[in-house]
Structure formats: structure tokens, C-alpha cells
Amino acid sequence: MSRFRIYPTPAQHAALLHHCAHARHIWNLALEQWSMWTRDKGPTPGYVEQSRQLTEARAAFGWLRAGSQTVQQQALRDFDHAIRNFHAGTHRRPTWRKAGLHEGFRIVGPPATRIVKLNRKWSQVLVPKVGWVRFRRSRAVPDAKSYRVTRDRAGRWHIAFAVIPKPIPAPGTGDVVGVDRGIAVSAALSTSDLLACPGWSKCEQERLKDLQRRLARCLRGSNRRRRVKAALAKLHARAADRRKDWVEKTSTDLARRFDVIRVEELRIASMTRRPKPKPDAQRPGSYLPNRRRAKAGLNRGILTNGWGDLVRRLEDKAPGRVEKVNPAYTSQTCSVCGHCAPENRENQTVFRCVVCGHRAHADVNAAVNIAAGRAVSARRETPVLVSPKREPQLATSA
Ligand SMILES: [Zn+2]
């Protein structure tokens, strides 16, 4: 993906929003059709059938005909893609598209290639039924056959050209690095570098709390609520931009410096899912505390540190050079003598081996173990076979 910020005029802004609304409407209709599947009825219409229905609908309804056919057609194609991903098990069930939240559409084919360079910094692209929209050329525009226009919650418009960038070549030095991801330190390298993903500053956290409180007091649908929401979105966008910037720079740096990058295999999706409710055996209908709020705090830590993003981007930039290591006991095992005991861990940050006396930052010690690919169980040499049906467990309780 190669993304640029676009700056539409007020009239173009309205036209772009119209495209987004059409794409969203078509997506939601397709989702509605798909969700009506039951065992006794036949299969729900697929992409080809839905496209045919779209053509019929365009003939019948003037407002649909007024929109761009490419935008509507591509919404169906996107939905088809989402269904495929869902059935392949790589993605979750497609969800409803919501105004203000999922604003975007896709343009493919010859219309997607009409790009004109204006001057040193600006270019323009001809968006069907919208006109020439200016965008800031912050890098070379790739030769792409399709692009996607999106609007984020902070109201910024972007255009992303669909190209797969070339992977970063390995340095060829044979160097291996282990990356341990944590809450206190975002990433510790086996080279004893500690990397911190920028999160919220103290001042921003206070402003966040303040805005959230203010939002709770606003009347639904009021102008004030809209303004507070916009301010909140801006704050979130700033934090997300910072995190993304860190992920991109860190992943590029690691891919350039090391031949093999070993990371711990963590299933963030299952770790960040909300804990199960615990029914109270004594009083039917009521529940025991399940530390949900505590876990929510941890989830926030995991997500703000951009764990998943970093590994995903590493795999994009250095395909075949990222190895996943079972993280069991990497934090308790001494990276010098291999002694594994929970007592080795003096506290959250300090590691001291009770046998050889090796002392190190706990996360760096874990990173060295990960770099060595050392992931043995305390009880047995081979990893424990776990039934795929079993609930995923945290590493230390395996
Ligand atoms: Zn030791």
C-alpha cells in the first residue's frame, strides 16, 4: 500500500461522502442477504448473482443509478473477499458498516490510472463522478491498477494505491535477533536494546478522560456531542499515527539489520478477548468477579504497544526471515546456563539466575532465549501437545 493524504474541496468532500454511503449501503445489503442463510433454504447469492441483482436495482432506482457503478460493484467484491477470508478462517465474520466509522470505497480499472502531476509537491487524481481531487505527493506514486479512498474518524481523507512493495533485502551477515514484546517495555532485543512504542502522554490521558466524561453528558444527536466526538477522534488519531510510525520505523530497521528475526508466538486475538463470565454456584443468575476490568487494562496495554502490528509488518517486509518461537519459559530460563526456575525472576524488570548468578534485564534475557530459539518446557524437553479444542493458555501455565 502506498498512501497519500487527499485534500478535496467542500463540493468534492460531499461527493466523496456520497460514494462512501453507496459503498456502505451495498455492503450492508450484501451482508443482510448473506446472514439470512439457514440450513433448510438453499445457498445465499454469491458475488455473480449479487452483481446481477445490483444491475437490476440500478435500473429500478434512480438514486442508485446516480452513484458510481464501480464503487457499488467493488463494495460487492470487497464483501465477497471478506466472506472468503471468513471461510478460510483467517478473519472474523464481516460486520455492519457504520456511517462515520467505515467510510471508504474502491476504484479499479482504467479510471484508477488517471493521475496528473501538478507541480513538485502536488498531484491530482480523477475520481469518477467527483472530478480532479488534489493529493499531496509525499513519495513517488506507484503504478497501480486500483486504489481505495478512505476517511478516518478524525475526518482526514486518504488515497491508497494497491501495490505490494518489494521486500527489504537481508543484510547477509547471518545475524539473528530475538524480540521480546512486553507491557512495560514495548520490545526488548537480544542485543539489549529496549524499544518503547510511544503511547499516551500524561497530558493526553487527562484530556482523554475529560473528553470521555464530557461526551457522556452530551445529549445524543446534539451539536455539542458531535464536536466532542470530533475532538476525541483527533486525539485517538494522533496516538494511532504515532504508534504506526513507530511500528514502521522499527520493523524496517530490524529487517535491514538482521538476517533472521525471531519473535515469540503469541495469539493476541485470543489473549485480548474478554474473559468468560463466572456464574456464582450459590446464587443462580448472578456472577462472581472475573477480573474483566483488570484484563481490559492489560488488553489496552497490549493493543497500544502495537504487538500484532509489529510482527505483521515484519512479515511483510522480511518474508521468510521471521521465525516464531514458542514463548513458554523464555522469561524464567537463564540465557547463559539454561537453568529454568520461577525464582530466577527477581521482579518485573530484573532477572538473576539462582545457579550461575547471571544478571540481566528480564526482557533482554527473554529476548536472548528467543534469539536462540530456546523454548523448552520445564517438565519435558519437547513442547507439550495441546488439543486444538482446548482454550488457549498463557505461556507460563502451559
Ligand atoms: Zn544461569
Q: Which residue has the higher pLDDT, 312 or 390?
A: 312
Distance 359 CA to ligand 1 centre (A): 9
Report the distance separating Cα 102 and Cα 116, nearest Å: 28
Question: What torsion do the CA atoms of 231, 233, 236, 237 make, to the nearest 10 degrees?
Answer: -110
**Contact in structure between 396 and 379 (CB atoms under 8 Å):** no
Q: Ligand 1 centre from 50 Cα, in Å?
A: 64
Cell of residue 375, nine digits: 523454548
Position with higher pLDDT, 42 vs 158: 158
Top pLDDT among 123 and 272 is at: 123
SS3 label, residue 69: helix
Phi, psi torsion values for 310, nearest 5 degrees: -65, -45
Domain ranges of the chain: 2-161, 176-325, 342-397
- Residues 6+ positions from 247 with CB-CB distance below 8 Å: 197, 306, 309, 310, 313
Q: What is the pLDDT of residues 206-231, one digit of tens each?
A: 999 999 999 999 998 889 999 999 89
Residue 299 is predicted with a pLDDT of 54
**Ligand 1 mean position, distance from CA 105 (Å):** 56
Average pLDDT over residues 10-36: 91
Is 254:261 a contact under the CB 8 Å cutoff?
yes
Region 172-193 average pLDDT? 81
The closest alpha carbon to 1, from 134, 116, 153, 141, belongs to 141
Q: Residue 95: enclosing H or E segment and its boundaries?
A: none
- In angstroms, rounded to a whole number, what is the distance separating the alpha carbons of residues 361 and 344? 12
Residue 291 pLDDT? 65
**Res 397: pLDDT:** 36
Report the DSSP beta bridge partners of residue 376. none
Distance 383 CA to ligand 1 centre (A): 22
Q: Give distance in angstroms: CA of 337 to centre of ligand 1.
A: 4
Give the pLDDT band (50/70/90) at residue 111.
confident
Residue 360 or 379, more confident: 360
Q: What is the pLDDT of residues 232-273, one digit of tens each?
A: 989 988 888 888 888 899 999 999 998 888 888 766 555 555
189 confidence band (pLDDT: 50, 70, 90): confident
d(CA 384, ligand 1 centre) in Å: 24
Region 341-355: what's the mean pLDDT? 83
Mean pLDDT of all residues belonging to the chain? 82
Residue 303 has pLDDT above 60, yes or no: no
Q: Kindly tell me if the per-residue pLDDT of 375 is higher than 50.
A: no
pLDDT computed for residue 355 by the predictor = 84
Q: Is there a contact between 238 and 231 (Cβ–Cβ < 8 Å)?
A: no
DSSP code per residue over 352-378 = E-TTT--EEEHHHHHHHHHHTT----S
Q: Residue 158 has what pLDDT?
A: 93
Q: In terms of pLDDT, which residue wins out, 33 or 347?
A: 33
Cα of 341 vs centre of ligand 1, distance in Å, is 10
Ranges 88-97, 131-140, 153-162, 270-279: which has the least confidence: 270-279
Measure 372 CA to ligand 1 centroid, in angstroms: 15
- Quick one: pLDDT at residue 395? 44
Ligand 1 geometric centre to CA of 176 (Å): 21
Instruction: Tell me the C-alpha distance between 170 and 139, whole Å.
Output: 24
pLDDT of amino acid 398: 33
- The pLDDT score that the predictor gives to residue 1 is 67
- Confidence at residue 293, expressed as pLDDT on a 0 to 100 scale: 62
Instruction: Summarize the confidence of residues 180-202 as an average pLDDT.
Output: 79
Report CA(229)–ligand 1 centroid distance (Å): 53
Q: Are 332 and 397 in contact (CB under 8 A)?
A: no
Give yes or no for a contact between 367 and 185, defined as CB atoms under 8 angstroms apart: no
pLDDT in tens, 135-180: 998 888 888 888 999 998 888 999 998 888 888 888 888 888 888 8
**Looking at this protein, which amino acid is placed at residue 383?**
P
DSSP string, 101-119: TSEEEEEESGGGG-EEE-S
DSSP state of 170: P
Q: What separation in Å is there between the alpha carbon of 369 and the centre of ligand 1?
A: 12
pLDDT higher for 112 or 151?
151
Rounded to the nearest whole angstrom, what is the distance from the C-alpha of residue 175 to the centroid of ligand 1? 24
How buried is residue 133: exposed, middle or buried, by Cβ count under 10 Å (0-12/13-18/19+)?
A: buried
